[in-house]
């Protein structure tokens, strides 16, 4: 059994944003899979996805702080500057965190750990809406009923 | 055909640890898949998984050295400090290396390159045991026999 | 339906190289999948794969610039130096970008965003040819015709 859906995440300010519930609500069919694998895939090169702590907003703030220091806006050694001082850092941050997440499915839900949440990593100042492709395959619980 | 198992990795000190054999021994059913994809998924936000050199222990020591310099314990710009000076760096290191590995299965085994091994990346001083969900799907060699 | 192929990427100089077309041409069977998931897996520990901007060569040049500054050749704190000053940095860069890509398949093709391309990240000065395992599973469009 295969599930595939385009999910559009509304525009968000630069930073790290918790989108676990928004993703889960977009794929109600997931409840029919007893076991499987789900992939979330970001179709952009200046935003990305990662899993991290789902509780303290300070963690997400500190992510932004660290990444902005590690890959500074407008660094003098960048050649690709036409699209603004936040563009080339956005590309590098996107590759450091990654374009996709692969998450096991168990008993009809994403098998996240207790403290894990899905972060939309928005690396542009004005990135706009972001498209994510959700794809899952697995065994349907109903097959055996 | 689907395989899914919870694997508990025993507590290890902070650092990068080779766990390839431990993982392989936990999923003996893998030998029945002729072709497939396996996913290893870390259910924590301060430990992670990566693939790298399986021979020299110095490589794993140098990983720890580099990551500790790149994301320093107790850096003054972190706001999330309640859980100790190693906590916020652990979250960032976990997202830099990633929560999951996706590895092809060929002829009943993980299709790793000659020098590739699975690293448990333990970013906390006292992280405790770590849960990994192993999920694989593929074609069973027996179906055709 | 499962597809698995070994792809050999010809030797390239150190840097970030766009290989999207080369990968797509190596797996013509992909056109038969209506929906699925594909995994590209690098069987080496000093080269890696990432997705990023497929247009400006300056972006790939800036990737090399940033990674070379973040993980400097011959840094004095590395112990694993036997294989040359570019070896240990190559291992770390490989884990920062990652050994594999997971990309959804839709309507017989990789469902990449408009600006996304597949980068071979060659972190050694003379890395030689690189082996990538391509694995995909999905539903065949023909099943329903």
Please indicate whether, in this complex, the C-beta atoms of A133 and C111 are within 8 angstroms of each other: yes
Q: Is A13 exposed, middle or buried (0-12, 13-18, 19+ CB in 10 A)?
A: exposed
pLDDT band at B126 (very low <50, low <70, confident <90, very high): very high
Distance from CA of B31 to the nearest CA of C (A): 17
Q: Verify whether the Cβ–Cβ distance B58 to C80 is below 8 Å.
A: yes
Per-residue burial over B59-95, b if 16 or more Cβ lie within 10 Å, else e, is bbebbbbbbbebbeeebeebebeeeeebbbbbbbbbb
**Span C71-130, pLDDT tens digits:** 999 999 999 999 999 999 999 999 999 999 999 999 999 999 999 999 999 999 999 999
Whether ipTM > 0.90 holds is yes
In contact, C117 and C51? CB cutoff 8 Å: yes
Neighbours of chain B (3+ CB pairs under 8 A): A, C
Strands B33-42 and B130-140: antiparallel
Q: Which of C53, C62, C119 sits opposite A78 (nearest CB)?
A: C62
**pTM tops 0.95, yes or no:** yes
**Beta carbons of C53 and A91 less than 8 Å apart:** yes
pLDDT digits (tens, 9 = 90+) for C22-76: 999 999 999 999 999 999 999 999 999 999 999 999 999 999 999 999 999 999 9
Question: Is A143 touching B (CB cutoff 8 A)?
Answer: no
Residues of chain B in contact with residue C95, where contact means CB-CB under 8 angstroms, are 50-52, 63, 97, 119
């Amino acid at each position: 059994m295969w599930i595939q859906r385009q999910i559009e995440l509304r525009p968000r300010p630069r930073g790290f944003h918790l989108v676990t519930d928004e993703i889960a609500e977009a794929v109600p069919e997931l409840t029919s899979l007893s076991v499987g694998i789900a992939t979330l895939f970001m179709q952009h090169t200046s935003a990305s996805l990662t899993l991290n702590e789902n509780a303290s907003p300070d963690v997400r703030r500190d992510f932004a702080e660290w990444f902005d220091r590690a890959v500074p806006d407008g660094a003098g050694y960048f050649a690709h500057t036409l699209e603004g001082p936040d563009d080339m850092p956005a590309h590098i941050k996107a590759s450091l965190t990654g374009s996709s997440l692969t998450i096991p499915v168990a008993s009809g839900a994403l098998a996240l750990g207790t403290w894990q949440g899905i972060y939309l990593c928005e690396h542009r100042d004005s990135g706009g809406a972001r498209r994510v492709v959700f794809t899952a395959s697995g065994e349907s619980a109903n097959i055996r009923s």
